[in-house]
Amino acid sequence: MKRVAVLLIVLLGITASADAAPKTISVKKLLVVAPAPGAEGLVISGKTLVTYSNTSGINSNVVVTGLDSNGATLWQKTIDSGADEIALAASVDSNGDIWLAGDSAALTPSDTATTQLPPDNPDGVIVEPQSSIRNDMNQLTVWKVSPIGELIATYTLTQKTPPLVNAISINASGASIVGQIADKPYVISVSATGTFGKLINVGTSKTQLNAVIRNSDGSASVFGSSSETLGGKKNAGIRDGVLLKINKAGAITSVVRSSASKAVRSWNSSDPSLVLTGSIKTGKKNESAFTKFTSAFVPSWTIRIPSNGISLVTSAGGITYGVMGSNTVIPGISGWKPTSTQLLLLILDGKGLVTSAYGATELSFP
């Protein structure tokens, strides 16, 4: 889903404070750094905004671009192995290296056979050239790119079918990746030197894993949605949001379900500080939830906002930044009367209270 054009917003230029939240918040104009209509993901490496996009041609390639805080291009790298590749998620490690996860196809061996002379063609029959067969993108692939745009390493693991990558999380010991393969959700680890662990399926097609946080011991905290029993915990709503702890061996050690009667819930985005956001749909009512959890998955605070159900979250210095698609007025926020789905950024303090709101009427979301 192309959400980066939305996120190329100067969060760096917004001064957030931990002051007490006023009773009514007036929406301010959100400043856009630079439009990036082709970008499909955004991460921040130091002071550099890094986007990635996927291009098509003779073969599909990945384009990674570094921008400064004014939106000017600092560097650009095209990842082109000669075969098809596509990036689907990204994260940044403590050194500022960008880790991209996605799919790639194996290279087709070059034909080294002796060149044959063309046959006689006295009638001048035109023979259309045959298109080469493109291999399936069934290699789970991780690319490591330096803070200045140099491709450091490429790691691959061949699967029977193309895997879908939903999220990647990095720490000093390596990466954890979640996604779907053959309609089944999976979790997999990759060491810092590119050694893949065993691909672990979690549930069936009734479960989807959308976000992951890699823990210091190599275990993973995974978030998504499910309409089946996981870890002995049964479904309560139509579909529940789920928070899972998965150990290094791939076993589920903890399950917490976020549910509501006759509701469809899902956790879609997470931050390393365990601030999550997700969707709640009850009948025709759509909301985005923003919730801060403890390490035991106990909520510290939560807030629900009317929305189109699409939202993202990040936090820094005890301040939470929540981005959503807003299509209606919101109680407690003045000057916001969208006539269609438009982007809204909320800044929340350490207690989950909205302290500021910024809107961009020229941007839809997603």
Instruction: Quickly tell me which residue has 């820094």 as its tokens.
Output: 316
Tell me: pLDDT of 247 over 50: yes
**107 or 85: which carries more pLDDT confidence?**
85
Task: Let me know if residue 6 belongs to a domain.
Answer: yes
Strands 48-55 and 61-67: antiparallel
Tell me: pLDDT of 8 over 80: no
Instruction: Say what the pLDDT of residue 17 is.
Output: 53
Instruction: Say what the pLDDT of residue 3 is.
Output: 46
How large is the average pLDDT for residues 138-159? 97
Instruction: Say what the pLDDT of residue 6 is.
Output: 42
How far apart CA 40 and CA 78 sit, in angstroms, is 15
**pLDDT cut 90: percent of the chain above it:** 71
How large is the average pLDDT for residues 224-240? 95
| Domain count within the chain | 1
308: tokens are 């189109």
How far apart CA 79 and CA 138 sit, in angstroms, is 17
Instruction: Say what the pLDDT of residue 23 is.
Output: 74
Task: Name 350's Cβ contacts closer than 8 Å, sequence gap at least 6.
Answer: 18, 318, 319
130: tokens are 């045959």
How large is the average pLDDT for residues 58-73? 90
Task: Let me know if residue 173 belongs to a domain.
Answer: no
Q: Find, among 141, 8, 147, 151, the residue nearest to 87 by Cα.
A: 141
Tell me: pLDDT of 12 over 90: no
Tell me: pLDDT of 91 over 90: yes
Task: Let me know if residue 182 belongs to a domain.
Answer: no
- N residues, the chain: 366
Q: Find, among 29, 43, 157, the residue nearest to 98 by Cα.
A: 43
196: tokens are 């893949």
Tell me: pLDDT of 125 over 90: no
How far apart CA 43 and CA 9 sit, in angstroms, is 12
What backbone torsions phi and psi does residue 10 show, to the nearest 5 degrees? Answer: -75, 80
Instruction: Say what the pLDDT of residue 366 is.
Output: 61
Tell me: pLDDT of 113 over 80: no
Q: Find, among 28, 23, 16, the residue nearest to 358 by Cα.
A: 28
What are the tens digits of pLDDT across the range 14-63? Answer: 555 555 555 789 999 887 766 666 888 889 899 898 999 999 888 999 99
Task: Let me know if residue 8 belongs to a domain.
Answer: yes
Task: Let me know if residue 346 belongs to a domain.
Answer: yes
For residue 281, give its domain range: 1-32+271-366
Task: Let me know if residue 358 belongs to a domain.
Answer: yes
Instruction: Say what the pLDDT of residue 71 is.
Output: 82
Instruction: Say what the pLDDT of residue 30 is.
Output: 85
How large is the average pLDDT for residues 198-227? 96
How far apart CA 156 and CA 171 sit, in angstroms, is 19
Task: Let me know if residue 336 belongs to a domain.
Answer: yes
Instruction: Say what the pLDDT of residue 261 is.
Output: 87
What are the tens digits of pLDDT across the range 345-357? Answer: 999 999 999 999 9
Task: Let me know if residue 342 belongs to a domain.
Answer: yes
What are the tens digits of pLDDT across the range 279-328? Answer: 999 999 999 999 999 999 999 999 999 999 999 998 878 889 999 999 99
Q: E-strand spans in 105-229? A: 139-145, 151-158, 164-171, 174-181, 184-191, 200-201, 207-214, 220-226
Instruction: Say what the pLDDT of residue 108 is.
Output: 75
